[in-house]
A and B are shown apart, each in its own frame.
Chain A
Amino acid sequence: MTLARINDLAAHYTAGDTNHHALDGVSLDIAPGQILGVVGESGCGKSTMASVLSLNPGPSLRITSGTMTIDGTEVDLADTESHRRLRGGTVALLPQGALNALNPTRRVGALAYDILAAGDKRIKRAEAMERTASRLEALDLPPRVLRSYPHQLSGGMRQRVVTALATLRNPRLLVADEPSSALDVSSQRLLVDLLRRLVSDGLVDGIVFITHDVALLSELADRIAVMYAGRVVEEAPSRALVDEPHHPYSQALLASVLVPEPGTRGRRVTGIPGSPPDLKVPIAGCPFAPRCDHALEVCEQVRPPRNAADARVDACWKNAETEEALHVG
């Protein structure tokens, strides 16, 4: 049983004569009731994936292969016009930069009505206001917010209003694209609690939470997917991934951040040598190979296989060979 699944997704941005391969064979499963964290550096393709998952690919993104299923229905990735009716109701986006996400010249109530009317044209204004008010209340916002313009609200209130609006039509899947990156630590805390509550109260069925902050994910997410250079290099239950990352990139990523938990003490914080590859040329083997301490000859040339075991997946030649050795032995 899955809530949403993308399979072998590849997409690129076109700028002039060059293609920027933002996503390269990405597969992910989101189970109902689950929060899936996606982590990676800037430019690793996580925001592109968020835009595809939330059915908001920009005009310059070309999806070249892959399938996507949400809530049991297959989405035609080529026909972006068919996405419109799924947006907001089936999938919703919790955007980056929530502070500017509200139309500055529209009252919150009017915006909420527009959003509800996009899903149900016959909805009455009074009913829309009632539904919005109760959702705002659930997020500890007073009803007067309905009559406010965005600039009359504090930053924290705006963040909650955006969250309330994003979930207003009870979407099955909520895609949160770095909603926390501009927030201070206590607002981040509140947001994390809020998202957990949305799932536990059943207002949304699942959340994909995209961030560069592994520490935040280790608290929030059920599972974590690590992305690098347009690919998912590892995906595992949060605990398992943080405690015992399998892919060399995940190891390096975790080593480069402080996780304030027992066992962190004494661990050295190290950067990753080298820089991410140029995505303008397709990569034949493992994109991390040039920076990897464990790289084998095969890593540069052949795409690593997906090693799946114990509810976790990674894409690394070294692990594949270890596993093979175990099987043989």
Chain B
Amino acid sequence: MKTLKALPPRGTIAAAVFLAIVLAGLIGPLLAPAGPGALLGTSFTPPGSEFLLGTDHLGRSVGIQLVHGIRTSIYIGLLAGITGTLIGVAFGTLAGYRGGVLDEILMGLTNIMITVPAIIVLLLLSISLDTRSVTVMGLCIGFVSWPWTARAVRSQIASLREREHVDIARLSGSGTMRIINVELLPYMMSYIVMAFVIQLYGAILAEAALSLLGLGPSGTASLGVMLHWAIAWESVRGGQWWVFLTPTVFITAITFSLLLVQSSLDTVFNPRLRVGKAAR
């Protein structure tokens, strides 16, 4: 809790913005009068009293799509973030704590996965799947995004392992799982939280990028899918700003606020990076 108090104001504001958007994604779809796919009006109706954010090329409400889109994007992001963080922490901890051959194998795999760009693997996966449910997409993104976390956790664990309290636990006969759970992971919590925020950020970006390429989740709205159709139907060149600006602004707001939260957490744990107060 002390950590949260030490968070710089911009971190607090960013966290509040992110939570407000998440809330919109949770509550919005419940309040919406129709589903995201419903054709409610004429195409490209500008924002007004009838449609708060106007309609898209098919006459669907941009506002309803937005709240559903936020829900989809956050859901995929959370699922992928949790999957990626869990795999990364598990691999990193095992490799760092056990060392030896297991370390070599796991880190070899990690290094290869880091070198091969995740977006390409996702692209290959996505074109092979005819229908892509949001859950499958979230899991796919999670399965390719763990290597950075694994590598970082491994190096942290490898240095934690040398600490005295770990030696004492080992000498007093604690099992490996107990040492990892009681002596190592608690010291890693702040680190894991930061890794998770980065994973969440990366996953939301990955979903948006895939959807923009036309490989988004089937049968539902997501922020990336909205942007995909906006660009495919030339709404930027047509000047229908509400259609493309809505997903653009929200993708940017989500990712920017997440990155601000992460960088604020970083300055809390890493005082050297604090933005200098005194000018030269």
* Chain A residues within 8 Å of B, Cβ to Cβ: 59-60
Residues in A neighbouring B276, C-beta threshold 8 A: 59
Shortest distance from the beta carbon of A252 to any chain B beta carbon, whole Å: 36
Separation of A60 and B274 alpha carbons in the complex (Å):
15
Shortest distance from the beta carbon of A15 to any chain B beta carbon, whole Å: 10
Question: Which B224-280 residues have C-beta < 8 A from chain A?
Answer: 276, 278-280
Separation of A30 and B124 alpha carbons in the complex (Å):
77
Name which residue of chain A comes closest to B276, CB basis: A59
5 contacts between A and B (CB under 8 A): A59-B276, A59-B278, A59-B279, A59-B280, A60-B278
Residues in B neighbouring A60, C-beta threshold 8 A: 278
Shortest distance from the beta carbon of B275 to any chain A beta carbon, whole Å: 13
Name which residue of chain A comes closest to B277, CB basis: A60
Shortest distance from the beta carbon of B268 to any chain A beta carbon, whole Å: 15
Separation of A60 and B276 alpha carbons in the complex (Å):
10
Separation of A59 and B280 alpha carbons in the complex (Å):
6
Separation of A59 and B278 alpha carbons in the complex (Å):
6
Interface size on B, residues (CB 8 A): 4
Name which residue of chain A comes closest to B280, CB basis: A59
Shortest distance from the beta carbon of B62 to any chain A beta carbon, whole Å: 47
Name which residue of chain B comes closest to A62, CB basis: B278
Separation of A60 and B279 alpha carbons in the complex (Å):
9
Separation of A60 and B278 alpha carbons in the complex (Å):
6
Name which residue of chain B comes closest to A16, CB basis: B277
Shortest distance from the beta carbon of B116 to any chain A beta carbon, whole Å: 34
Shortest distance from the beta carbon of B124 to any chain A beta carbon, whole Å: 43
Separation of A126 and B280 alpha carbons in the complex (Å):
33
Residues in B neighbouring A59, C-beta threshold 8 A: 276, 278-280
Residues in A neighbouring B278, C-beta threshold 8 A: 59-60
A-B residue pairs, 5 tightest by C-beta: A59-B278, A60-B278, A59-B280, A59-B279, A59-B276
Separation of A307 and B145 alpha carbons in the complex (Å):
73
Name which residue of chain A comes closest to B279, CB basis: A59
Separation of A225 and B278 alpha carbons in the complex (Å):
32
Interface centre among B276, B278, B279, B280 (most CB of A within 10 A): B278
Separation of A59 and B279 alpha carbons in the complex (Å):
7
Shortest distance from the beta carbon of A81 to any chain B beta carbon, whole Å: 10
Separation of A60 and B280 alpha carbons in the complex (Å):
9
Residues in A neighbouring B279, C-beta threshold 8 A: 59
Name which residue of chain B comes closest to A58, CB basis: B278
Shortest distance from the beta carbon of A253 to any chain B beta carbon, whole Å: 34
Name which residue of chain B comes closest to A61, CB basis: B278
Shortest distance from the beta carbon of B253 to any chain A beta carbon, whole Å: 32
Separation of A59 and B276 alpha carbons in the complex (Å):
10
Shortest distance from the beta carbon of B217 to any chain A beta carbon, whole Å: 48
Separation of A279 and B278 alpha carbons in the complex (Å):
21
Separation of A219 and B234 alpha carbons in the complex (Å):
84
Shortest distance from the beta carbon of B43 to any chain A beta carbon, whole Å: 58
Shortest distance from the beta carbon of A13 to any chain B beta carbon, whole Å: 10
Question: Which B136-190 residues have C-beta < 8 A from chain A?
Answer: none
Shortest distance from the beta carbon of A19 to any chain B beta carbon, whole Å: 14
Shortest distance from the beta carbon of A229 to any chain B beta carbon, whole Å: 24
Name which residue of chain B comes closest to A15, CB basis: B277
Shortest distance from the beta carbon of A57 to any chain B beta carbon, whole Å: 11
Separation of A178 and B276 alpha carbons in the complex (Å):
27
Shortest distance from the beta carbon of A111 to any chain B beta carbon, whole Å: 21
Separation of A238 and B276 alpha carbons in the complex (Å):
42
Name which residue of chain B comes closest to A60, CB basis: B278
Separation of A257 and B279 alpha carbons in the complex (Å):
41
Residues in A neighbouring B280, C-beta threshold 8 A: 59
Shortest distance from the beta carbon of A1 to any chain B beta carbon, whole Å: 36
Separation of A60 and B277 alpha carbons in the complex (Å):
9
Name which residue of chain B comes closest to A80, CB basis: B280
Shortest distance from the beta carbon of A40 to any chain B beta carbon, whole Å: 26
Chain B 64-98, CB-CB to A under 8 Å as 1, else 0, gives 00000000000000000000000000000000000
Shortest distance from the beta carbon of A301 to any chain B beta carbon, whole Å: 35
Name which residue of chain B comes closest to A14, CB basis: B278
Shortest distance from the beta carbon of B111 to any chain A beta carbon, whole Å: 30
Separation of A315 and B280 alpha carbons in the complex (Å):
36
Shortest distance from the beta carbon of B155 to any chain A beta carbon, whole Å: 26
